[in-house]
A and B are shown apart, each in its own frame.
Chain A
């Protein structure tokens, strides 16, 4: 039985390590993500951001360390097990099939079948139900499109990214992880995607935003996780720490204890037998 007090953390990790031969990608990294927040993860190239995200999404199994979801210890074996725990990821390369329409993309891999014999025996898709749900979902997120039957190839880069984010928000029950979602976008489209991300958070999901763009981070992040040399240097609030100080900690010009920490957890939750 899980007797520990409920934690406000959607996700937590402690002491993650991962080595590739002599290369130490993660060196005792910690991580925490509060419920309903946008946590930006920033760090220089090679700081180990990607390795951290791969562990959190089940793409990599760490050599040591522990991951908790809603206070319960988890051991992701592959991306599917992370997905089943309610963690969805939007990868840097646009993860949409351009020849499929918006509804097909939202339901790809999780298609709905018609009730009764037509679904069970003849495996027939319930296209109208998927279209309806997809349209409702896009509307709830404030994504404006002409038609849910539009092929994704007819959309702009920002709209395609919006479809990918909407898909993750639709299936992620707890956490949506976004890897450089605005990297390929112009100013206006970037703003549209950033607004969409805040709406995803306002629907109650926790969001991890990996980004190189400091203006993006300071525009929407609630807290900023600064990664350096394979571990978390510090977590700061954009309200109390300036952009230049964040960059300084990232590059090592400023020691991590020179900025005000916004850590929530002081201790990892007790290990519990679940998952």
Chain B
């Protein structure tokens, strides 16, 4: 985890040699801004505070929100977008974006579903995984090899794969009968509370990715590339190699998200999860990861996905129209990106 921007003075170390860059101007406003920068420099603080505030508001304003059953339901509702958002976080950390992740997941699901319908669910799962990795790698290839902007490359793939999934299935859905393929919707129950294997998997995947980002050289390089590709290259980092690995690895998370989705609803539907791409970006951005790359992480994304779902869940409990839920989510996105712009301005070199 990163340390605070304002530095500790280690005893025994000599005093600072020169003024820190861009000493902030005097005044109350600057003081507030510095305080906010210090607080939000720890990447998870902002999203966590937001989540707690929203939880408190819904607990006070509705009678049905705060109970163990509903909270476990919120987790179950978060897993698909939350798992997609893990892959999306990686990509946004290297200053990319993936508009195709929902379409990749759906293609993997329908291919797996069609093979399972012919009697071999295990094979279906493996082929579905392969489809997700290959499709995500195509993104990585187009972006690193042909230098297309990630927005355009993934927008193109989104359109192509959405149509491909319908052509492949002739617009039919495949009901899933295999227990193995839907197991992530199951889990031990304690009264009204069900802790699904999908929720556990989501937490486990988040921890594994957090480890990879914070404890391995690959993770340091991911942040370095998002921060400054030129500096990373000059320091001998294989920038294209790392970016490609990020897209390919994101495909693995999309495959897991597809498995989660079958646990939620046991149907492989080629027209499902149309806006899962936008939801995953929303979760990442609300979670405090910078769209400019190089700042943020999966802990924030985990919280960000929960915030998105808690908003929907809580506003539903409060009896508010789902269109207002969308408006609320939109405001949050703008707020999160605005805060990043504002707080990040003085710091970027």
Which residues of A are at the interface with B, using a C-beta cutoff of 8 A? 79-80, 83, 89, 91, 93-101, 104-105, 108-111, 113, 122-125, 143-147, 149-151, 153-160, 167, 188-189, 192
Contact = CB atoms under 8 A, between A and B. Distances in A.
Contacts of A143: 17
B347 A101 contact: no
Contacts of A122: 211, 215
Contacts of B294: 97, 99
A83 B7 CA distance: 33
B234 interface: yes
Interface stretch (B81-89, B111-119, B224-232): B224-232
Interface in B210-262: 211, 215-218, 220-221, 223-224, 226-228, 230-232, 234-237
Given A146-B7, A147-B10, A151-B2, A108 B221 contact: yes
A7 B217 CA distance: 39
B235 to A, nearest CB: 5
Contacts of B236: 79-80, 83, 108-110
Given A146-B16, A189-B18, A125 B9 contact: no
A146 B220 contact: no
Nearest to A127: B215
Interface of B: 2-3, 5-10, 13-21, 211, 215-218, 220-221, 223-224, 226-228, 230-232, 234-237, 294-295, 347-349
A192 B3 contact: no
A197 to B, nearest CB: 16
Given A80-B236, A110-B236, A192-B17, A150 B217 contact: no
A161 B235 CA distance: 14
Q: Is the interface of A mostly helix, strand, loop or mixed?
A: loop
Contact of A147 (B7, B216, B227, B232): B7
Q: Is the interface of B mostly helix, strand, loop or mixed?
A: loop
Given A100-B224, A146-B8, A153-B349, A95 B216 contact: no
A154 B7 contact: yes
Nearest to B226: A99
A149 B7 CA distance: 8
B234 A98 contact: no
A145 B13 contact: yes
Nearest to A109: B236
A155 B17 CA distance: 10
B231 A94 contact: yes
A1 B139 CA distance: 51
Contacts of A167: 235
Contact of B15 (A83, A89, A144, A189): A144
B223 A125 contact: no
Given A146-B7, A146-B13, A94 B2 contact: no
A95 B230 contact: yes
A204 to B, nearest CB: 23
B118 to A, nearest CB: 38
A104 B1 CA distance: 13
A145 B17 contact: yes
14 contacts: A97-B227, A98-B227, A99-B223, A99-B295, A105-B235, A108-B224, A109-B221, A123-B216, A145-B13, A146-B16, A153-B347, A155-B20, A158-B17, A160-B349
B347 A108 contact: no
A122 B208 CA distance: 11
B151 to A, nearest CB: 22
Contacts of B215: 122-125
Given A146-B8, A147-B7, A153-B347, A109 B237 contact: yes
Contact of A97 (B5, B7, B10, B224): B224
